[in-house]
A and B are shown apart, each in its own frame.
Chain A
Amino acid sequence: MNSDNTYEVPIGPIHPALKEPFLIKFKIDGERIVGAEAHPGMNHRGIEFMGMHRNPYKVIPLSERICGICSIVHQHMYVTAVEHAAGIEPTNRARYIRVIMAELERIHSHVLWAGVAAHEIGFDTHLHFTWMIREKVMDLLEYITGNRVNYAMWTFGGVNRDIPKRMYPKIEATLKYYEELYGKLEEIFLGDPSIRLRTIGVGVLTKEDALRLCGVGPTVRASGVRKDVRIDQPYAAYGDLDLEYQLPSLYGYGDTGDIFSKTLVRLKELVQSIDIIRQCLDQMPDESINSEPKMAATLNKLKKADGEGIGRIEAPRGEAFHYVRLKGGKEELDCWKVRASTYNNLATYAPMFMGEQIADIPIIAACIDPCIGCMDRAEIVDVNTGKRREYHHEELHRLSVKKTRDLLGGVER
């Protein structure tokens, strides 16, 4: 590395504010990033191993705790995979309730992401604004399930709690609240000239790279890739609903794959989620919420079951996947493989960082909506002299904020 005058900059792995410690090592030539490499694993808790020593029911709450933000995603996939393996069919009402819950979570995840993205480029007012409006959907989730996170909603054959008619007005009120605020969000994130300067043409992922690297979710839809499990392989009740791939070209923008397109896709999905929940409330059939109400009998059935199944859903961050194998006569799961969305999107970091500036690191790192995004410390080692220099998260953040201000012509906000 001495010959080409590049620096190595590790960023990570620990920051207490986020649930996933993470390390990215950058190769820097002056201000330009010429290489990026992700080093995950700081928070590998061996959950799959733990799951293979428990009975299927005990794994439901365990799977829910894989992620702190998308509590619904992993229990949804896990339950679907076991149902597939054991041949259990959930009731149709349960399928609709699953969709409603998943879409409510998508709203809260995307709003949260918008706040983090704004924070990374120095707009803390937007961060506070988006996190304030996120409270509404959290309140609604608490109203429906009793919990703000870890909803304990899924069970084999259906869901644990119903969404009765008396809850509809509050759900509708929350949807209306977001609908009214959407214009403001769009104005902030798509119209603001300084945000446009920081996001347009930055962190570009080409369509070809997106396909080759098997990327998922809004990260690749922004590049014009038509991949959305809700439409491609409609699970739960998505097959009954009207959905469209949310691509930037649908709204007259180019499928450029930069951060602006990724923001656009996420904001449009917010509107889509509102529409999906309304469709569900209209069409939801009136029947039982669980086809397997007797837990002991189901457990016995699962113990005898011999088969394998997959669970695959579109999480807020993109496609996620579970594989489960049950062995006849064995109470514990025989095999359980969990794959979250960020796992596939890790590979897309390398082309996105290439050629960008150090000050763009926070926003590009955040743009795939990883379960990280907070850069605790960065260390720059000058390979020529062996000198070390540390960038702390605050300093990196300051650099990013400074870049925004410089772009605004040095105007102090």
Chain B
Amino acid sequence: MIPEDRLPVSMEDLEKYFKKHLGDALTDFKREEFKKGLKGRAIKVIWMKVDREKFLFAIKTIANIQIPHLSVTSGSDMGDFVELIYHFHVNYGYPGEETSINLKVHLPKSDLTIPTITDMIPGALTTEREKQEFLGITVLGIPDSRRLWLDENYPKDRYPWRWDETGMEGCSRYVHDPAEATQKPISEKPRGGDRDE
């Protein structure tokens, strides 16, 4: 952990720090600073992509700066691969200095697994469980792999944010279309009831 008197870390130092520790595994590094308001105080954003092999090390590198604030992980189906973006924030507690670090990692469709980060950031559990059920990825070592948002009756092999054959196609009914409205929904089981069976 960087001692508190060396915080906040500037954007230039962050770039040097990540490039030094992650080396070739780090790609697409982008620094953005855009000014807001009459006084033109800047908002600082970093985008970067890391190889999946070095993913855990990259999280450790970020966690060494300050106890990282993980806003959320966003994910999307990009065709051949699934992209996950971990939205971290460091330098909080210093007015105007907080920096967003958006860490991207690509998972090929042939191997949709990513190690858990809950051992370093316990607050990541909610978002990891969400990614599992919405994108069909597997988080290795997740302490609680149950579904969080989706109903138990939702088909097990369908994922709402996927655009391929495992996506939502056929799961939604267009009630305005008489031909479709008569079709039975995929789930035959009545909704509700005890979620704990």
Contact = CB atoms under 8 A, between A and B. Distances in A.
B36 A235 contact: yes
Contacts of A48: 161
B36 A212 contact: no
Interface stretch (A138-146, A152-160, A191-199, A331-339): A331-339
B96 interface: yes
A310 B102 contact: yes
A23 to B, nearest CB: 8
Contacts of A225: 93
A40 B148 contact: yes
Contacts, number: 126
B122 A339 contact: no
A323 B102 CA distance: 10
Contacts of B75: 337
Given A44-B150, A232-B93, A239 B36 contact: yes
B58 to A, nearest CB: 18
A343 interface: yes
A386 B19 CA distance: 59
A226 B92 contact: yes
B117 to A, nearest CB: 11
Task: Give the interface size class of chain A.
Answer: 35 or more
A349 B71 CA distance: 17
B155 interface: no
Nearest to A90: B36
30 contacts: A40-B148, A41-B150, A46-B160, A212-B67, A213-B123, A214-B121, A225-B93, A226-B92, A226-B93, A227-B69, A229-B98, A232-B89, A232-B91, A232-B98, A234-B41, A236-B37, A239-B36, A239-B37, A239-B40, A240-B38, A283-B38, A310-B87, A312-B71, A321-B71, A321-B72, A337-B74, A343-B127, A344-B71, A344-B123, A347-B126
User: Which 10 residue pairs spanning A and B have beta carbons closest together?
Assistant: A239-B41, A214-B123, A337-B74, A232-B98, A226-B93, A41-B149, A339-B72, A335-B76, A213-B123, A233-B98
